[in-house]
Amino acid sequence: MASITNLNKPKDAFEQLEDEHGARQGFCHIRIQQRTGRKTITTVQGVGTEYDLKRIVRFLKKVSC
């Protein structure tokens, strides 16, 4: 009977993504899209402002393209 009463409590599926200040930690999306020939488009989304986006994109282009 105790397990049935536990079903009434809603569970937050994203509670492990919250840090100590209550802000949610999201995902970082990196997309590399092939254009014509050797040209590619690299987009980075979800990265904080404390990181240098140009350096991240430059490194990703060296590794994956």
Give the start-to-end residue ranges of the domains of the chain. 18-64
pLDDT of residue 52: 85
Asked if residue 22 has pLDDT above 70, the reply is no
> Residue 56's CB: how many other CB atoms inside 10 A?
15
pLDDT band, residue 6 (cuts 50/70/90): low
- Report how far residue 31's alpha carbon sits from residue 53's, in angstroms, rounded to the nearest whole number: 13
Asked if residue 2 has pLDDT above 70, the reply is no
More confident residue, 64 or 15: 64
List the beta bridge partners of residue 26.
Answer: none
Q: What is the mean pLDDT of the segment spanning 14-35? A: 68
pLDDT tens, position by position, 30-53: 888 888 888 888 888 888 788 888
